[in-house]
Structure formats: structure tokens, C-alpha cells
Amino acid sequence: MDIAKIVIALLVLVNPLGAVPLFISLTPHSSQTERKKIAKTAAISVAIVIGLFALVGEGLLRFLGISIGSFQVGGGLLVMLIAIALMNAKPNPTKTTDEEREEAESRTNIAVVPMAIPLLTGPGTISTVIIYATTAKTVWQVGSLVVAGMVVASTCYVAMTLATPISRLLGQTGINIVNRVMGMLLAAVSVEIVVDGIYRLFPMLGAH
């Protein structure tokens, strides 16, 4: 497995920069110290979610009787939907709804829900982690996936602790531009996932 490609794919899916505006809107009355505490808890939760599904993902598919190829095709299509939303500068439809965001504003602790789940690690991220976990052939490769999750979680922590200066520097237009670029990268990742899944389902296609 290419660890750099995994880190980039997960970073694009988690999209720490895209979460900056919502993080600010959910912590309007929080002090800098409180924001750092929320960011730390959310980042740790992100690392735990990615690490957990990296370790149990393949076993979960076996338990449910789902073939890896089918899951790759389904997960790849889900990732493509996220990519299209990013390229159109629209909210990710697989993460939080308007109702969930409104409910989150009244929560005293928003670090785990909705920041870590599902805002940062939504269905697209989880399915992608499981897909990469199923292609891991050694313990070291699974460990690399866990390490990738830690790198992504650390990036989330930095983005959230610097949310205000990042928002001022980029503005909504800048964040939308970054999202569109990430969307194009994510679309390429989703195509690779779908194609690999199709080859697993129909191995005769790769015979030549």
C-alpha cells in the first residue's frame, strides 16, 4: 500500500479545512482554551474511528457476508458523490443534515458528535478505511493505515485550533476553492476504488 496516497485520500475525505466554518459556528462563545480542548477530543475520536475500522473492517465484511468487490464498488460510488458535492462547493450530504447542525448548537460537548462523527469521519471515510484495510496483506500495512489515521487526526487538530485565523485568511471563497480541488482528487480516488472492485467481481476483465 502507498501510505502517502492513503493519507491524501483520507485527508480529502475528512476535509479538515471544510470543517473550519462549522467548528467556528458551533463554538461561538468558547474560549481559546475550550476550543483547543474540543479540538483535541475530536481529533482523538477521529484517530480512534479510523484505527478501529482499519483493524476490524475486513472481519466486519466477512461477518455480514459482503464481498470485498461489492463493498469497493458501493464505497467508491459513495466517495464519488462526496467528490461531486465538494466540486460544487455544497455541503457533504453524507455527513450532517441541517437538523443535526441545529441540534449540535445546543450541545454542551460537540467534540465527538457531531464534530468527529459524522462531520469529520462520515460514511465515506469509514468505507474507504475498510476498503484499504481489506487490501492490507501484512500487519505492517494495517499498522500503516492506523498511522495514516493519526496523521489525519493531527491535521484536524491543527485546523480546528487555528480555525479563526484560517477562516480570516482564506474566507469562504478560499475554502470553496480548496474544496473544489479536493473534490477533483477525491473523484480520481473513487474511480480507482470502483475499478478495483469491478476487477474483483469480474476477474476475467483483467485477464488480458
Model pLDDT for residues 43-67, shown as the tens digit of each residue: 999 999 999 999 999 899 999 999 9
Please report the pLDDT score of residue 93 as a whole number: 58
How confident is the model over 60-93, as pLDDT tens digits? 999 999 999 999 999 999 999 988 988 887 766 5
Q: What is the mean pLDDT of residues 162-178?
A: 90
Please report the pLDDT score of residue 91 as a whole number: 65
The answer to whether the CB of 17 falls within 8 A of the CB of 166 is yes
pLDDT at 203 exceeding the cut of 90: no
The answer to whether the CB of 87 falls within 8 A of the CB of 184 is yes
How confident is the model over 1-34, as pLDDT tens digits? 678 889 999 999 999 998 898 899 888 888 999 9
Give me 201's grid cell: 467481481
